[in-house]
Amino acid sequence: MDTNPKVDFYFNKAKKWQQEQEKLRVIALDCGLTEELKWGVPCYTFNNKNVVLIHAFKAYCAILFFKGTLLNDGEGMLIQQTENVQSARQLRFTSFLDIVDQEPVLKSYIHEAIELEKAGLKVELKKATEFNMPDEFQHKLNAIPELKAAFEALTPGRQRGYLLYFSSAKQSATRQARVEKYMPQILNGKGLDD
């Protein structure tokens, strides 16, 4: 079991779910994955491909499968974190004993996820054009060619991020304010959280 010293600090600073997360760490490493720190959380890879990551929330800790939609969820345990998450799925735990009880199932899911990587399978993601384009943003794109060119030059993920954020506002005035606020960022080639 090869732990990564760069990841140790994450587990050492955990105030909640520390024991549970450390158990998930042992399980991931027992499955032959490589431990890295990505996005500030432990990420486990196979041949430099992301397989799972461990993260904690207020009510639970979880192991997230990057290509969870491709897994055969025979136990019906995988959870879609939010409606906008396209490929990732989580297994959630609320106690150390839950993890111990589910360890064989968890390992089988991880081994299946590794096989998906070996096979080179990919999740078909919705294209940015399939997401709702708020009228307020479309009007700006039509009126400002530089903005349209800058938006189209963004990565699909950044485009999706903006479209989801803009369209999530219930009122037109809020959508308009969001568009105005982020226009300079789009023109600079930046994503919503850059």
Pick the CATH number of 5-119 from 3.40.50.720, 3.90.1150.200, 3.40.50.1220, 3.40.190.10: 3.90.1150.200
What pLDDT score was predicted for residue 9? Answer: 86
CB 112 within 8 A of CB 67: no
Comparing CA positions, the residue from 192, 130, 193, 148 lying closest to residue 166 is 192
46 forms bridges with which residues in the sheet?
49
Q: For the chain, give every domain's residue range.
A: 5-119, 128-187
Whether the predicted pLDDT of 128 surpasses 70: no
Gap between the Cα atoms of 121 and 124, Å rounded: 10
Quote the pLDDT of residue 81. Answer: 84
Contact 73, 67 (CB under 8 A): no
pLDDT band for position 179 (cuts 50, 70, 90): very high
* Confidence bin at 164 (pLDDT 50/70/90): confident
Closest CA to 70 of 88, 97, 52: 88
Task: Supply the pLDDT for residue 85.
Answer: 77
pLDDT, tens digit, 9 for 90 and up, residues 53-111? 999 999 999 999 999 999 999 889 999 887 777 789 999 999 999 999 999 999 999 99
pTM greater than 0.75 (yes/no):
no
